[in-house]
Amino acid sequence: MPKVKTLEDLFQAGLKDIFFAEKKILTALPKMAKAAINQDLRAAFEKHVAETEEQVSRLEQVFEEIEAKPQSKTCDAIMGIIAEGQEIMKDYKGSPALDNGLLASAQAVEHYEICQYGTLISWANELGLKESVRLLRQTLAEEEKTDKSLTALAEAVVNQEACSEPAGIESEEET
C-alpha cells in the first residue's frame, strides 16, 4: 500500500516546482533583456538575474533544512508562462508594443512566483520550519518589489511607446 502523502510531501513537491521555475527564469531573463527596447526595462531584467540567482541559493538552503537534496520537478505552469513570453517576442519583434508584451509576460512570471512563495511560507510555517520561513519571506518580498517596479515601468512604457492610434477603436480619452 502506498504511503499516505502529507503536508511535508506537498511542501517538498512545491519546493522542487519553484526550484525548477527559478532556474527556467534564469535562462529566460537574458533573452527578455536583449529583446527589450526601453533601457529601463532592459536594466530591470538584468537586475532581476542577480536576484534570481540569490533566490535559487536560498531554495538550496531550504532543501537543507528539510534534509533533502535540491531537486527540480518540471513546472508546467512556468513552462507555459515562458512559452507565451517567447511567442510575444517573436510576434512583436520590431513593434513598438513589444515592451508592453514583455512586461505583461514578466508580470505573469512574478505573480506565479508570488503565489507559490506565499503558499510555501504558509506550509513551512505549519511544519515549524523557521529558517525556511525566513528565507522564503525574503524572496517573496523581493518578488513583490519586482512586480511593483514592473507595474510602474508598464505605466511609463504604455504612455511613451505604444501610443499609435489603433484602428477601429474610437478614442475616448478622458479630458
Interface residues toward its own copies, by CB under 8 A: 4-10, 13-14, 17, 66-67, 75-81, 83-84, 88, 91-92, 94-97, 100-101, 103-104, 107-108, 110-112, 114-116, 118-119, 122-123, 126-130, 151, 154-155, 158-159, 162-164, 166-173
CA–CA distance, 161 with 62 (Å, rounded to integer):
42
| Amino acid present at 171 | S
69 phi/psi in degrees, rounded to 5: -75, 135
Q: SS3 breakdown of the chain: % helix, strand, coil, rounded to 5?
A: 75, 0, 25
Task: Report the nearest approach of its own copies to the CB of residue 45 (Å).
Answer: 17
Q: Which of 55, 132 has the CB closer to its own copies?
A: 132
Task: Report the nearest approach of its own copies to the CB of residue 34 (Å).
Answer: 19
Task: Report the nearest approach of its own copies to the CB of residue 69 (Å).
Answer: 13
Q: Which of 13, 50 has the CB closer to its own copies?
A: 13
Q: Which residues have C-beta within 8 Å of that of residue 85, sequence separation ≥ 6? A: 28, 32, 101, 102, 105, 106, 108, 109
What DSSP designation does 166 have?
P
Helix axes 130-160, 39-65, angle to 10 degrees: 170
Q: Which of 47, 86 has the CB closer to its own copies?
A: 86
Task: Report the nearest approach of its own copies to the CB of residue 11 (Å).
Answer: 8
Q: Which of 53, 83 has the CB closer to its own copies?
A: 83
Q: Which of 53, 94 has the CB closer to its own copies?
A: 94
Task: Report the nearest approach of its own copies to the CB of residue 52 (Å).
Answer: 18
The rounded Cα 22 to chain-centroid distance in angstroms is: 8
* Cell numbers linked to 78: 512556468
